[in-house]
């Protein structure tokens, strides 16, 4: 079986001398495989895309030169004000737009990247629907503090989210899914043109309709709202919202060796009547894709929506995001990270808090130093029964044109050495099982380029679908020039599953005998200094948390103040050394996770992962407290400036709850 040049589709201008220059490798893969990994080309041929405009350019310029590939209705109104506007905008263009990126749009667009979710075998939810955006909306919540949560599942009727009058503090909700909740109660937000939004008053009317005495029929309430995400006992968003804004902070639910939890409600700013909650429900189709390749458009739109709820009464806005991809340049130059910088500069009252990630021990990161004329070889274990595509990103340092990449499938001959500016597929051009796409420079980041290795799923239920063989793949990188000034970094896209979604993907991993050579005696908890291992635990911060715009929270154990093995760490390829601080995510080695609200009444579940650290940090910021100093002095790559203390109370009661892994 042979390798072939990638098929020429309609979204890349292949007539140019260097058609891959400045391209998005994921778009090249989608275009060359007929969008097979994405369930086919989206409806109306419109693709959600994050676009960076060049200085001084506007959306009006963009639309005028797009050749009909982008219209006013395809761009949310918040990105097209009467004068000026942000440089980072979202849109839903067609192929005509992408074909003009290096010609008619070259003086307008700095870069663009698609934001599509991959579609697994046996998909449960319909694909994304393109929007019909109209006029801008300034909502205004009339609250002193806005706490924004971008997540999955908001238990708006939960008693922990009520104010002093017994009313819900959720003042706005936007379900971004066209086929989601609130079909009867809500309306399509005019400025974003998709999904349904509801006000706090509408939510309270719904709650009142299912209230008898002091008891709320939560099952009936959520069923009437068609909010299917709340059918589960535990959902990620309900836990996160409770941690950041619930009446009982997590510290009141944690005991010590000498005292049980207090269950006290001290009444801080984050749980006060002045703090309104704005929740954005992410689309179900996107949640089924754990890679996070869809985050760009959905998250940036969600943040703009939350900011539209601020008004003259608002003194502080905190937005928490406990999702993140294990992809990107890892140096703060990803488009979404730069868009965060623009948002924070526009809104001085805004604070963003992100989770560091849970991939410290996932074997998904490798570091490949290359001397002159040297090669390095990685072994990549792809799992059987994986119903989703798998991806590896190889990030090269800047100014290195002599690096070649070769991919060898299991039990097959080695592929060709692929140089920058080339894209090859195997075993056939019409229906490829894998590809190596290596542009000379890429829209996905700055300070170096990226070679993308893309594999179709290793399992299928469709007789006509092509699958990639599972087993041990070999990834080789060869330097044909002088010694590289910095190593090549490899990251595997996340591919397991999100809490509350069906198991479709199976996480692949790098295999290195030097990674943990004494694992049969005692498993290593960190990288060994001086080890020749290529696979590393450090350098695993989530791909949207390597810039400077957001505060990033890692995790530590309450019992001994030690780093937890899943919490991702620095360093990055850029200036960020590690997370900003660490918050408690496990009570003890034998008691992982922290108690947080389930979706019903007094139910509690244990949320495990740095997903709980980020909302702890957000609550700390909302309460007006400064970030901690080094107490005790931590490793900055693991715990940043120090440990965020967990306030402990004492009281005569305790409880237990089922465990729910965040898997974020």
pLDDT tens digits for range 332-345: 999 999 999 999 99
Considering 460-474, 476-490, 507-521, the range whose residues carry the highest mean pLDDT is 476-490
Using a 10 angstrom Cβ sphere, with 0-12 exposed, 13-18 middle and 19 or more buried, the burial of residue 578 is: buried
Residue where a domain stops, chosen among 114, 132, 164: 114
Buried b (16+ CB within 10 A) or exposed e, 195-225: bbbbbbebbbebbeebeeeeebebeebbeeb
Calculate what percentage of the chain has a pLDDT beyond 70: 97
Q: Mind listing the pLDDT tens digit for each residue in 239-262?
A: 999 999 999 998 888 887 788 888
**Same domain for 569 and 603?**
yes
Residue where a domain stops, chosen among 62, 95, 114: 114
What is the reported pLDDT for 627?
87
- Is there a domain that residue 228 lies in? yes
- Is there a domain that residue 521 lies in? no
**Same domain for 473 and 551?**
no
**Same domain for 42 and 163?**
no
**pLDDT tier at 394, thresholds 50, 70, 90:** very high
For 258, residues 6+ apart whose C-beta sits below 8 A from its C-beta are none
Q: Which of 82-86, 420-424, 453-457 has the lowest mean pLDDT?
A: 82-86
**Same domain for 47 and 165?**
no
Residue 46 sits in which domain range?
33-114
**Same domain for 557 and 494?**
no
- Is there a domain that residue 132 lies in? no
**Same domain for 285 and 189?**
yes
CA–CA distance, 30 with 49 (Å, rounded to integer): 13
**Same domain for 406 and 549?**
no
Tally of domains within the chain: 3
- Is there a domain that residue 192 lies in? yes
**Same domain for 208 and 348?**
yes
What is the reported pLDDT for 535?
97
- Which residue did the predictor score with more confidence, 357 or 251? 357
In total, the chain counts a number of residues equal to: 664
Buried b (16+ CB within 10 A) or exposed e, 315-334: ebbbbbbbbbbbbbbbbbbb
Element (H, E) at 395: strand 390-395
Q: What is the CATH number of the domain that holds 40?
A: 3.30.70
Strands (E), 532-643: 551-557, 581-586, 594-597, 604-608
CA–CA distance, 388 with 365 (Å, rounded to integer): 20
| Averaged pLDDT score across all residues of the chain | 93
Q: What is the CATH number of the domain that holds 327?
A: 3.40.50.200
Query: How far is C-alpha 216 from the chain's CA centre?
Result: 34
**Same domain for 237 and 269?**
yes
- Is there a domain that residue 548 lies in? yes
- Is there a domain that residue 520 lies in? no
What is the reported pLDDT for 631?
65
Q: What is the CATH number of the domain that holds 415?
A: 2.60.120.1290
What is the reported pLDDT for 133?
97
Going by the DSSP 8-state scheme, the letter that residue 591 receives in this structure is B
What is the reported pLDDT for 401?
81
CA–CA distance, 87 with 276 (Å, rounded to integer): 29
- Is there a domain that residue 500 lies in? yes
Does pTM top 0.75 for this prediction?
A: yes
**Same domain for 494 and 347?**
no
- Is there a domain that residue 518 lies in? no
Calculate what percentage of the chain has a pLDDT beyond 90: 83
**Are 599 and 605 spatial neighbours (Cβ–Cβ below 8 Å)?**
no
What is the reported pLDDT for 660?
56
Using a 10 angstrom Cβ sphere, with 0-12 exposed, 13-18 middle and 19 or more buried, the burial of residue 587 is: buried
CA–CA distance, 300 with 286 (Å, rounded to integer): 14
**pLDDT tier at 663, thresholds 50, 70, 90:** very low
**Same domain for 354 and 378?**
no
What is the reported pLDDT for 632?
66
**Same domain for 427 and 324?**
no
What is the reported pLDDT for 455?
98
Nearest CA to 155 out of 498, 602, 592 is that of 602
């Amino acid at each position: 079986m042979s390798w072939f040049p990638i098929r020429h589709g309609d979204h890349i201008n292949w007539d140019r001398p260097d058609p891959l220059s400045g391209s998005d490798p994921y778009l090249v893969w989608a275009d060359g495989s007929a969008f097979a990994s994405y369930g086919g080309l989206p409806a109306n041929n419109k693709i959600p895309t994050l676009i960076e405009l060049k200085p001084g350019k506007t959306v009006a310029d963009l639309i005028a030169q797009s050749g009909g590939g982008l219209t006013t209705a395809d761009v949310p109104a918040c990105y097209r004000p009467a004068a000026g506007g942000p440089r980072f905008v979202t849109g839903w263009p067609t192929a005509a737009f992408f074909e003009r990126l290096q010609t008619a749009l070259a003086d307008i667009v700095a870069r663009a990247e698609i934001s599509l979710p991959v579609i697994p075998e046996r998909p449960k939810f319909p694909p994304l629907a393109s929007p019909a955006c109209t006029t801008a909306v300034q909502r205004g919540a009339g609250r002193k503090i806005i706490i924004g949560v971008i997540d999955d599942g908001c238990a708006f009727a939960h008693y922990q989210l009520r104010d002093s009058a017994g009313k819900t503090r959720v003042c706005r909700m936007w379900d971004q899914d066209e086929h989601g909740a609130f079909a009867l109660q809500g309306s399509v937000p005019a400025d974003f043109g998709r999904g349904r939004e509801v006000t706090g008053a509408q939510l309270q009317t719904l709650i009142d309709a299912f209230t008898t005495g002091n008891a709320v029929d939560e099952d009936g309430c959520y069923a009437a709202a068609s909010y299917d995400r709340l059918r589960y006992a535990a959902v990620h968003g309900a836990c996160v919202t409770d941690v950041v804004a619930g009446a009982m902070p997590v510290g009141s639910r944690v005991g010590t060796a000498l005292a049980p939890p207090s269950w006290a409600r001290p009444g801080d700013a984050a749980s006060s009547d002045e703090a309104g909650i704005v929740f954005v429900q992410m689309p179900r189709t996107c949640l089924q894709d754990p890679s996070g390749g869809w985050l760009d458009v959905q998250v940036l739109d969600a943040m703009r929506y939350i900011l539209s709820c601020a008004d003259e009464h608002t003194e502080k806005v905190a937005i928490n995001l406990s999702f993140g991809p294990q992809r990107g340049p890892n140096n703060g130059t990803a488009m979404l990270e730069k868009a965060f910088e623009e948002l924070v500069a526009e809104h001085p009252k805004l604070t963003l808090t992100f989770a560091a990630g849970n991939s410290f021990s996932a074997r998904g990161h490798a570091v490949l130093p290359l001397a002159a004329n040297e090669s390095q070889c990685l072994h990549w274990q792809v799992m059987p029964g994986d119903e989703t595509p798998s991806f590896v990103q190889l990030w090269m340092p800047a100014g290195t044109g002599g690096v070649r990449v070769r991919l060898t499938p299991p039990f097959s001959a080695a592929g060709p050495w692929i140089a920058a500016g080339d894209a090859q597929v195997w075993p056939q051009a019409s229906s490829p099982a894998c590809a190596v796409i290596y542009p000379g420079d890429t829209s996905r980041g700055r300070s170096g380029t990226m070679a993308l290795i893309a594999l179709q799923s290793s399992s299928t239920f469709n007789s006509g679908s092509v699958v990639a063989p599972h087993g041990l793949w070999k990834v080789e990188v060869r330097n044909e020039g002088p010694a590289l000034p910095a190593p090549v970094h490899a990251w595997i896209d996340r591919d397991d599953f999100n809490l509350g979604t069906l198991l479709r993907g199976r996480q692949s991993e790098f295999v290195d005998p030097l990674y943990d050579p004494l694992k049969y005696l005692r498993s290593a908890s960190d990288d060994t200094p001086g080890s020749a291992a290529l696979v590393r635990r450090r350098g695993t911060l989530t791909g949207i948390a390597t810039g400077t715009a957001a505060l990033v929270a890692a995790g530590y154990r309450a019992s001994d103040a030690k780093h937890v093995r899943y919490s991702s760490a620095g360093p990055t390829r850029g200036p960020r050394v590690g997370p900003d601080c660490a918050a408690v995510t496990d009570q003890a080695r034998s008691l992982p996770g922290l108690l947080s609200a389930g979706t019903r009444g007094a139910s509690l579940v244990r949320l495990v992962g740095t997903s709980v650290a980020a909302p702890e940090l957000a609550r700390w910021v909302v309460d007006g407290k400064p970030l901690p100093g080094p107490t005790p002095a931590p490793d900055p790559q693991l715990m940043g400036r120090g440990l965020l203390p967990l306030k402990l109370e004492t009281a005569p009661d305790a409880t237990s709850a089922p465990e729910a892994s965040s898997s974020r």
